Amino acid sequence: MRIQELNGFYSQPLAKAYLSDFSEVSRFFTYDPRQIDGFAVRLKHLSAKKKGQLKFLAETLKHDNLQLGCGDQTLHNIGLLEKGLGVAVVTGQQPGILTGPLYTVYKAMGAIKLARELAAKLNYPVVPVFWIGADDHDFAEINHIFVPTAEGPQKITLTEKPAGRFSLGHVSVPQEVPLFLQQLEKLTPPIGWQQEGLVLLRETARQSANLAQWFGRLMTFLFKDDGLILMNPVLPPLRRLSAGLFYRAVKTAPEVDHLLQRTCQEVAAAGFSPQVQSEEDKLHLFIYIKGQRTALYLKKGQFTDREGVNTWEKEQLAQLSLSNPELFSPDVVLRPVVQEELLPVLAYVAGPGEISYFALLKNIFRHFGQEMPIVYPRPNITLVEPLVEKLLTKYQVPLQLLPVGLEGFIDAYVKRTDEVGIEEIFNDFRFVLREKQTNLVKEVASIDPELKGLGKENLRRLLRVVNSFEDKVKQRHRKNNEVAIRQLNKVNAMLHPLGQWQERVYNIFPYLMKYGPDLLKEIYHAIGLFDWKQKILFFD
């Protein structure tokens, strides 16, 4: 693969500042990810932490990862954690269908590569961990994929929606998966690794009890030789390890929410929009009631669920969190804190939205006696297939347009091929028409003053006719350029689909089916560390 680079492009202002001018946001973070010395300082901090629960954690990780089909390197890495001889580079994402958008895979690659690099630089074992966001209950966010096709992005959706707010780690693999995969087969060319890929997807779905497990099996397949540890927080043993933190969150409520509100105000005062809008009286924990996940609130000295149906006294809920921690689940604010409680997190590989989340959490980490880990921006990658590259070259499309899309370029291209000067001649005609009409009205107004109003209305009608004719002329001109427009729209759909970066829309499996699993190695080798540029990868 050949690589070209663009400067990192984040639309979120805070994440953009994090990359381009860290001093602007440094007060909200503990470490600057550019400073390698910070990793050594963080390692020293982790070395001083108690490691009492790592053995129990490792037993759970080993059992679960073996179920997912992990390789020897993953078991070796779990063993390092068990002995207290390693720290972790963590990343994570919700368990999207077929692993979800491309950036999920890129985050895992970033964690693996950063872990290897830091292990060499620090001369200390560093292992990659992927936190499966199986707590999440937003099925609509993960129930689909987009496939790149000649007609643009094609969406395939699982329509069997769970009847309630069930965590994805508790949702069975839908029975309609075979139909879903049939649609995928129709939308991908019958070449390369297509059939092998479909067999993998069918078999892993059949073997999996829930969506998180299916996701885990696929991620294990993709990174089996890379030592990636998959971690599913909804597993009861991991909930038990989180019980103490749940207890402290309840006992000290509403302190977490007050800290969040205060930091939101500070972030807003610095000129940024907080990623989380603090919801008054929120505990930042969920509770499972009849299997469904519902938010907890503190109102008038009592805890209540979102609907206000169930209530608890503080001590009652605190004791419940200790005796039945599997009933509790953190929200987006407390998830990184739970992660820090369970793992020795050297760094977290984060997307732009997560960077903005972390900016709100420094004081919340401190509240629980923790320190915010190093927040390391994830890789940003765009894949350019051979046909798309030919069209980029043919039409001399600047790669700098990728962040904003090619709509403006297409309009400019059509305008450049306009040898007649359609807009200019119609503008000239309208100017002359207005001038002639104005002079005509002046000449006849002496006959009847009301003719002035009739003249203005007549001019409006004439201009509507002229404008309509201009639109038709432009349509004919665009029709003469329809091949170029169609080809440029195809480029735009492949590289900037639905007005977004490619990595936020398309799924990895259509590419793997076409080019084979070795594509993953080529993408991995293209990832740079500590430069955070957008990598444009051209297929050889």
249 and 137 within one domain:
no
Show the tokens assigned to 394: 């043919």
End-to-end CA distance of the chain: 5
Residue 16 belongs to some domain of the structure: no
Question: Tell me, what amino acid is at 369?
Answer: G
Residue 48 belongs to some domain of the structure: yes
Task: Give me the sheet containing 311-312, strands edge to edge.
Answer: 311-312, 302-305, 292-299, 282-289, 328-330
530 and 449 within one domain:
no
Look at strands 152-157 and 229-231 and give their pairing: unpaired
Torsion 136-139-141-147 (CA) sign: positive
Per-residue confidence (pLDDT) for residue 453, from 0 to 100? 86
Show the tokens assigned to 508: 């990895």
309 and 225 within one domain:
no
Per-residue confidence (pLDDT) for residue 422, from 0 to 100? 75
- Tell me the C-alpha distance between 68 and 245, whole Å: 28
pLDDT in tens, the chain (540 residues): 999 999 866 889 999 999 999 999 999 999 999 999 999 999 999 997 766 789 999 999 999 999 999 999 999 999 999 999 999 999 999 999 999 999 999 999 999 999 999 999 999 999 999 999 999 999 999 999 999 999 999 999 999 999 999 999 999 999 999 999 999 999 999 999 999 999 999 999 999 999 999 999 999 999 999 999 999 999 999 999 999 999 999 999 999 999 999 999 999 999 999 998 777 889 999 999 999 999 999 998 899 998 889 999 999 999 999 999 999 999 999 999 999 999 999 999 999 999 999 999 999 999 999 999 999 999 999 999 999 999 999 999 999 998 889 999 998 988 888 777 877 888 989 898 898 888 888 888 888 888 888 888 888 999 898 899 988 877 787 788 888 999 999 999 999 999 999 999 999 999 999 999 999 999 999 999 998 999 999 998
287 and 203 within one domain:
no
206 and 321 within one domain:
no
Residue 388 belongs to some domain of the structure: no
211 and 263 within one domain:
no
307 and 161 within one domain:
no
Q: What are phi and psi of 335, to 5 degrees?
A: -55, -50
Residue 15 belongs to some domain of the structure: no
200 and 77 within one domain:
yes
Per-residue confidence (pLDDT) for residue 50, from 0 to 100? 67
Per-residue confidence (pLDDT) for residue 393, from 0 to 100? 96
Residue 110 belongs to some domain of the structure: yes
Residue 17 belongs to some domain of the structure: no
Per-residue confidence (pLDDT) for residue 164, from 0 to 100? 93
Residue 23 belongs to some domain of the structure: no
Q: What is the number of other CB atoms lying within 10 angstroms of the CB of residue 336?
A: 26
216 and 67 within one domain:
yes
Question: Tell me, what amino acid is at 76?
Answer: H
- Tell me the C-alpha distance between 353 and 16, whole Å: 10
Domain tally for the chain? 3
Q: What are phi and psi of 127, to 5 degrees?
A: -115, 145
- Tell me the C-alpha distance between 206 and 199, whole Å: 11
Per-residue confidence (pLDDT) for residue 437, from 0 to 100? 86
- Tell me the C-alpha distance between 91 and 81, whole Å: 16
**CB-count burial class (<10 Å; 0-12, 13-18, 19+) for 198:** middle
253 and 327 within one domain:
yes
- Tell me the C-alpha distance between 262 and 364, whole Å: 11
Residue 249 belongs to some domain of the structure: yes
149 and 56 within one domain:
yes
Q: What is the number of other CB atoms lying within 10 angstroms of the CB of residue 160?
A: 16
Per-residue confidence (pLDDT) for residue 173, from 0 to 100? 97
Decide: helix, strand or coil at residue 338.
helix
| Domain housing 451 | 422-480
Residue identified by tokens 């966010």 is 141
226 and 252 within one domain:
no
